[in-house]
Chain A
Amino acid sequence: MSTLTPDLAARLPGPEWMQARRAAAVERFDDVGMPTEAEEIWRYSRISELDLDAFAPVLDDQDRGVPPDAVPAIETVGERSGLVVTRNGRVAHVELAPTAGAGAGVEIGDVFDADDGDGLLGSVAPSSTDAFTELSTAFAPGGALVRVPAGVIVRDPIVVVHWVDADGGAVFPRTVVVLGEDAEATVIERYQSPDVAAFVDPVIELDVADAGRLHYASVQDFGPRVWQTGYQATRVGRDAHLTSIAVALGGDYARLRTDARLQGQGATSQLMALYFGSDSTMLDFRTLQDHAAPQTTSDLLFKGAVADTAKGVYSGLIRVRKEARGTSAFQTNRNLVLSEGAGAESVPNLEIETNDVRCSHASAVGPIDDEQRYYLESRGVPPEVAERLIVLGFFSQVLERLPSSALAGRLRERMATRLGAEA
């Protein structure tokens, strides 16, 4: 671990409280060490291929402002209430539309600048979760903060763009979203890079207070030489509602672990994902639907497709704790395998400590349905077009749930192009 040292961590920007945390996290990271595929939660991954020494934290403070290449990712979303752009993890640009409730106390910025930043960072995603959350604590140079006070409704999406362009960089983007009681907001995150070799370790914390309603979506569209070990943790309060949609398209190996904790009675979460791997990408998802209160509901739908020699991994656990009586929990993972060299794993699990539950899980891995293909071809649709229609149709269930129809349209075009449509 020659590049990720306490000395280096100490040279990163941040408030005093952060400096103390960094040193402790580096130490714990050294104790924990890198995970291996032998651990269940890393099974099927390629984590032992990750050579952290090949990447170094980005110390120099780059230009502020929006990197020109990141503009399309922002514009695609359409109308927005606010924007945070991070560049290699540092907050580089912040704006809040006057109509979006700056007066109402909506806060958008860098979590390092918040008076209570020490309490916010890591409150939903503890640093001790795994080696990579420790690394994030040690080396994150800032973090996007979106905070909506109680009772405030933010109409248009707040956009967060994490732009990674440091070749050879170890990059630690962070996002903290806090919704007060009965508040409502939409947050769309975009993880983008040009073709650089980078290690990216995002940590996303979503905290929805009682009766809050958060619509969250993230789109990972990194270049083909990016390694990602992402962690998204959510806490949903009493009668609160979370919709979370993860879209993953790029990277060499890109992992996203999602822990969704239903903390208050009557809390609900809808977790969705759309992942489409091509070339030799591996897209790796781990989910936990954690029911910690009575009458909570979680519904998960993850849909993936893999082409060329790409690999997909889905492993999910529904945990219903003893106190979570009257819980409903559903989990569905479906995978389309589009070529012989591609493959997908799907591993659903249940851990239930009470009787009063409704649970179901379903998983499927297989090629495009022959009957569907024949049906379209019998109308005169060429085979490669039929395949494209079927794959896009397979994804439409998730696409149409995205909080921006303009973004959904753009993603559909991207995937169509990847499936051979003329751009």
Chain B
Amino acid sequence: MSRLVVSGLRAAVGGQEILRGVDLEVDSGQVHAVMGPNGSGKSTLAHVIMGRPGYDVLGGSVTLDEDELLALPTWKRAQAGLFLALQYPTEVPGVPLEDALAEALRARDDGEAVDVHRRLADEAARVGLDARFLARPLNVDFSGGEKKRNETVQLGVLRPKIALLDELDSGLDIDALRAVSRRVEQETKETNLGVLVITHYSRILRELQPDKVSVLRKGRIVATGGPDLADELERTGYAGYEDDEGETPPAPSAANADPFADPLL
């Protein structure tokens, strides 16, 4: 049984405070969805929890089974049992997936010998990723759907305690969405994976049933409820969750017209 606890998390990018006191919890075996409009801080939340450079943590804590993660470098957070499926998985030229995962597993101190090659093949089959992608350089010339299936393959091989899925549904057709959702769902049962799903739309939540839904708005969780909260958001949008200060969210710039794009990139 593991638990990820985010409390009072505040973080800034380039001097602008994006997370303004986020509190949430994810337990093993549970799917917790964090929904929010563009600019609410969703991707920032995922990256600050994972420790991406360029974000300034101003306060609060993130613990996994009572270990403080904010004090650890990214790779140690991963070794502690955290996994982040990126919204835009990075292309790493010349580095095969198997090499990267073998090194990640080798660096673990549990001494468990893993047949990476075999596990990769199994996981690829489970999410319908053609095995030839496993030998290619990471994400290079992968389609959007292949990249997301590949993230799910890695999750299956690494078997983290808690997975953060940042807009896993963006760029996915319905078949791919079903395949990756089903695989994540299985992990919550097979390995008791806890999942934090970060998403703008409720589409993925029809495939990946959340136990808990929270609404992120201007860097704070403004509501938390059961799965019905996602349905309500589907009908009414985020308009009902204007926060008290009544600030207008930052307007997307012309160069950043993609509605799914992280406004900070």
Contacts and interface: CB of A to CB of B under 8 A. Distances in A.
Contacts of B89: 375
A390 B53 contact: no
Contact of A377 (B54, B73, B99): B73
Contact of A381 (B54, B75, B91, B137): B75
Nearest to A394: B94
A247 to B, nearest CB: 16
Interface stretch (A10-18, A28-36, A90-98, A366-374): A366-374
Interface in A376-391: 376-383, 385-386, 389-390
Interface in B92-117: 92-95, 99-101, 103-105, 107-108
Interface in B38-63: 50, 52-54
Given A375-B86, A380-B107, A394-B94, A389 B78 contact: no
Nearest to B54: A370
A382 B90 CA distance: 17
Nearest to A393: B94
A163 interface: no
A128 interface: no
Contacts, number: 85
A397 B79 CA distance: 30
A392 interface: yes
A393 B95 contact: yes
A242 B133 CA distance: 32
A378 B84 contact: yes
Interface residues of A, number: 23
Given A385-B107, A389-B99, A393-B137, A380 B158 contact: yes
Given A374-B53, A375-B86, A381 B94 contact: no
Query: Residue among A381, A385, A390, A397 with the most chain B CB within 10 A?
Result: A381
B28 interface: no
Interface residues of B, number: 31
Given A379-B78, A381-B100, A383-B75, A392 B107 contact: no
A374 B74 contact: yes
B152 interface: no
Contacts of A392: 94-95
Contacts of B154: 379
Given A383-B73, A389-B99, A375 B90 contact: yes
A376 B95 contact: yes
Given A385-B107, A393-B137, A377 B74 contact: yes
A380 B79 CA distance: 5
Nearest to A391: B94
A212 to B, nearest CB: 31
B104 A397 contact: no
A399 to B, nearest CB: 9
Given A380-B79, A383-B75, A389 B84 contact: no
Given A374-B53, A375-B89, A389-B103, A382 B94 contact: no
Contacts of B90: 371-372, 374-375
Nearest to B88: A371
A371 B73 CA distance: 15
B108 A380 contact: yes
Interface in A303-349: none
Nearest to B80: A380
A395 interface: yes
Contacts of A370: 53-54
Contacts of A380: 75, 78-79, 104-105, 107-108, 158
27 contacts: A370-B53, A371-B90, A372-B90, A374-B52, A375-B89, A375-B90, A375-B92, A375-B138, A377-B75, A378-B75, A378-B84, A380-B79, A380-B105, A380-B108, A381-B75, A381-B103, A381-B104, A382-B75, A383-B73, A385-B103, A389-B100, A390-B92, A392-B94, A393-B92, A393-B95, A396-B94, A397-B94
